[in-house]
Copies of this chain bind each other. A is one copy, B any other.
Amino acid sequence: MLLHRTSIEDHNAALLAAHQRRLQYLRSEVPQVDDVLPLLTDLQIAIPSWALGTGGTRFGRFSGGGEPRSIAEKIEDVGLLHALNQSSGSISLHIPWDVPENHASIRSLAAQHGLRFDAVNSNTFQDQPGQQHSYKFGSLQHVDKAVRKQAIEHNIEVIRQGVELGSKALSVWLSDGSCFPGQLNFRKAFQNTLESLQEIYAALPADWKLWLEYKAFEPNFYSTTVADWGQSYLYVSKLGPKAFTLVDLGHHLPNANIEQIVSLLLMEGRLGGFHFNDSKYGDDDLTTGSIRPYQLFLIFNELVEGMDARHMNHAQDLGWMIDASHNVKDPLEDLLQSVEAIKLAYAQALIVDRKALAAAQANNDVVRAQEILQAAFRTDLRPLLAESRLRAGAALAPLQLFRELNVRQSLIKERGTTAVATGL
Contacts of A335-362 to chain B: CB distance below 8 A = 337, 344, 357-358, 360-362
Check if A137 sits within 8 Å of B254, measured CB to CB. Answer: no
A44 to B222, CA, bound (A): 28
Contacts of A287 in B (CB 8 A): 180, 370
Q: Which of A157-165, A202-210, A262-270, A386-394 contacts B (4 or more CB under 8 A)?
A: A262-270
Q: Say how far A131's CB is from chain B's closest CB, in angstroms.
A: 11
Q: Say how far A222's CB is from chain B's closest CB, in angstroms.
A: 6
With A280-B257, A290-B370 as contacts: A137 and B364 at CB distance below 8 Å: yes
Q: Say how far A338's CB is from chain B's closest CB, in angstroms.
A: 11
Contacts of A182-231 to chain B: CB distance below 8 A = 182-188, 190-191, 216-219, 221-223, 227-231
Q: Which of A94-102, A113-121, A325-333 contacts B (4 or more CB under 8 A)?
A: A325-333
Q: Say how far A334's CB is from chain B's closest CB, in angstroms.
A: 7
A373 to B382, CA, bound (A): 14
Check if A382 sits within 8 Å of B378, measured CB to CB. Answer: yes
| Interface residues as binary, A283-313 with B (CB distance below 8 Å gives 1, 0 otherwise) | 0111101111110001001100110010000
One of B57, B186, B219, B373 near A260 (C-beta < 8 A): B186
Check if A364 sits within 8 Å of B253, measured CB to CB. Answer: no
Check if B330 sits within 8 Å of A367, measured CB to CB. Answer: yes
A100 to B134, CA, bound (A): 34
Q: Which of A9-17, A32-40, A58-66, A74-82 contacts B (4 or more CB under 8 A)?
A: A58-66
Contacts of A254 in B (CB 8 A): 253-255
The complex is assembled from copies of this chain, and their number is: 4
Check if A290 sits within 8 Å of B180, measured CB to CB. Answer: yes
Contacts of A256 in B (CB 8 A): 253
> Does A126 count as interface, using CB distance less than 8 angstroms?
yes
Q: Say how far A301's CB is from chain B's closest CB, in angstroms.
A: 8
One of B185, B253, B257, B334 near A305 (C-beta < 8 A): B185
One of B188, B231, B328 near A137 (C-beta < 8 A): B328
Check if B57 sits within 8 Å of A264, measured CB to CB. Answer: no
A188 to B263, CA, bound (A): 10
A257 to B58, CA, bound (A): 23
One of B28, B228, B285, B377 near A230 (C-beta < 8 A): B228
Q: Say how far A346's CB is from chain B's closest CB, in angstroms.
A: 14
Contacts of A284 in B (CB 8 A): 179, 217, 221
Contacts of A372 in B (CB 8 A): 182
One of B22, B257, B281, B361 near A218 (C-beta < 8 A): B281
> Does A404 count as interface, using CB distance less than 8 angstroms?
no
A137 to B369, CA, bound (A): 14
Check if B143 sits within 8 Å of A361, measured CB to CB. Answer: yes
A125 to B268, CA, bound (A): 27
> Does A414 count as interface, using CB distance less than 8 angstroms?
no
> Does A241 count as interface, using CB distance less than 8 angstroms?
no
A259 to B183, CA, bound (A): 13
With A181-B291, A294-B292 as contacts: A309 and B187 at CB distance below 8 Å: yes
Q: Say how far A291's CB is from chain B's closest CB, in angstroms.
A: 7
Contacts of A364 in B (CB 8 A): 136-137, 143, 183, 328
Q: Name 29 A/B residue pairs within 8 A (Cβ), A-sorted.
A: A25-B25, A55-B58, A56-B219, A60-B127, A62-B127, A62-B135, A178-B366, A180-B366, A181-B259, A181-B294, A181-B370, A183-B361, A186-B259, A190-B267, A217-B281, A217-B282, A221-B286, A222-B286, A227-B257, A230-B231, A230-B233, A234-B264, A287-B370, A290-B370, A290-B374, A292-B292, A329-B367, A333-B367, A371-B399
List the 6 closest A-B pairs by CB distance, nearest first.
A230-B230, A182-B369, A62-B136, A221-B284, A60-B126, A186-B263
